[in-house]
Amino acid sequence: MIFKCYFTQIAALMSILFFVSCHTETKNDIDISPIDVSEVENYQIVDSIVIPLPFNLWDWKILKDSTIAFFSQDKDSYCSIYDCKNSCVKYTLARKGKGNEEYLSCNWCKTTDINRIALYDIMRKTLNIYNISQYECKKEKSYLLPTDKDGLARPYTNILQYDAYRFLMKEDGDETNLRLVDLSNNSEMASYHCAFRDGEDGPYTPYDYLFHVVKDKIVLAYCYFNRIEILQIKDDEISPIMAYGENSHFIIPNNFDELKYHTLYIETKSNKFYILRSSDGGEEGEEILVFDVDDNSFSLIKLQNKIKLCGFDIAGNLWGYNESDFGTVIYMYKPLP
- 221 belongs to a structural domain: no
Contact 299, 290 (CB under 8 A): yes
Please name every residue paired with 71 in a beta bridge, in sequence order, or none if there are none. Answer: 59, 79
Q: What's the pLDDT tens digit per position in 135-173?
A: 899 999 999 999 999 999 999 999 999 999 999 999 999
Q: Tell me, yes or no, whether 66 and 203 share the same domain.
A: yes
Tell me, yes or no, whether 329 lies in a domain.
Answer: yes
Determine, yes or no, domain membership for 22: no
The pairing of strands 107-110 and 116-121 is: antiparallel
Continuous H helices in the chain? 2-20
Q: For position 15, what pLDDT does the model report?
A: 41
Given pLDDT bands bounded at 50, 70 and 90, which one contains residue 29?
low
pTM beyond cutoff 0.95 = no
For the chain, give the mean pLDDT.
Answer: 90
Domain membership of residue 127 (yes or no) is: yes
Judge whether 249 lies within some domain: no
Structural domain boundaries enclosing 318: 38-57+258-337
Can you give the pLDDT at residue 41? 98
Q: Are residues 174 and 113 in the same domain?
A: yes
**Whether residue 327 has pLDDT greater than 60:** yes
More confident residue, 19 or 110: 110
Question: pLDDT for 11-28, tens place per residue?
Answer: 443 344 344 334 444 444
Mean pLDDT of 33-38: 95
Q: Is the same domain home to 135 and 81?
A: yes
Q: What total number of domains does the chain contain?
A: 2
Give yes or no: residues 103 and 166 share one domain. Answer: yes
CATH code for the domain in which residue 179 is found: 2.120.10.30
Residues 170 and 293 in one domain: no
Instruction: Check residues 263 and 57 and name the one with the higher pLDDT.
Output: 263
Report the pLDDT averaged over residues 66-94: 92
Residue range 297-324: mean pLDDT, rounded: 96
Task: Identify whether residues 123 and 151 lie together within a single domain.
Answer: yes
User: What is the residue-wise DSSP string for 130-196?
Assistant: EEE-SS-EEEEEEEEPPB-TTSPBP-EEEEEE-SSSEEEEEEESSSEEEEEEETTTTEEEEEEE-GG
